[in-house]
Amino acid sequence: MSDMRQLTERGRAIEDGSFAIIEREAGKHGFAPPEWQVVRRVIHATADFEFLSLVAIHPEAVSAGVRALRAGCPVVVDVKMIQAGLSEERLATYGCRVSCFISDEDVIAAARANASTRGAEAMRKAHRLGVLDGALVAVGNAPTALLEVGRLVREEGARPELIVGVPVGFVSAAESKEAALGLPVPTIVARGRKGGSPVAVAVLHALLALSTEGSA
């Protein structure tokens, strides 16, 4: 597959220069090369070197994500900000489709009726539709969505290929990520309060780059 980063020559030079600065300033780290590509892109997206100590990657996470993308897996996200940030062309090359249910009328109605949240109900809908199994799930905004994915895995047998759990915030954000680390599913999380949709997008784009390069 050809390089699909859609960068101009000048844009590529800027990105490569940014990565060189990150390499220099990060110094030694304990990440394997494919894992480092994920962490490096998160730092590139945030200009925050604290992610060196916050990102936790399951030993099988990168290979699971790459394998799932190459197989054309569903990509389930909690908010449209992640969907908007992803390269549809690159995903379409593998046959991957992005689903985000948080603004669906039935999801909103269920959240009101159940005194729940749209994030949690969106993940329940994804499970009902059968798109969680074999999926790459990315949560960047709603801790309740990540907590619900965890419940669906533990109690209802949902089996995504990879969970990217990086919700940002103060209420349940850190706790949702710690809970995700204990799931029987590979995970990539940003521990603590930091994270967000740009971090989720960065992780997914790193996995797409690895899929294209055949590096994992």
Nearest to 173 by CA among 192, 196, 186, 199: 192
Residue 151 lies in a domain: yes
- Give the range among 87-91, 128-132, 170-174, 183-187 with minimum mean pLDDT: 87-91
The stretch 21-36 carries a mean pLDDT of 94
CB atoms within 10 A of CB 131: 20
Nearest to 59 by CA among 195, 191, 185: 185
Type of residue numbered 116: S
> Which pLDDT belongs to residue 3?
44
Residue 157 lies in a domain: yes
Residue 2 lies in a domain: no
Residue 49 lies in a domain: yes
169-197 per-position pLDDT tens digit = 999 999 999 999 999 999 999 999 999 99
pLDDT for 2 beyond 90: no
Residue 4 lies in a domain: no
32-86 per-position pLDDT tens digit = 999 999 999 999 999 999 999 999 999 999 999 999 999 999 999 999 999 999 9
Residue 1 lies in a domain: no
CATH number at residue 40: 3.40.50.10230
Domain count, the chain: 1
Q: In terms of residue numbers, what domain contains 204?
A: 9-213
Residue 3 lies in a domain: no
Indicate which residues carry an active-site annotation.
Answer: 44
pLDDT for 142 beyond 50: yes
| pLDDT band at 5; cut points 50, 70, 90 | low
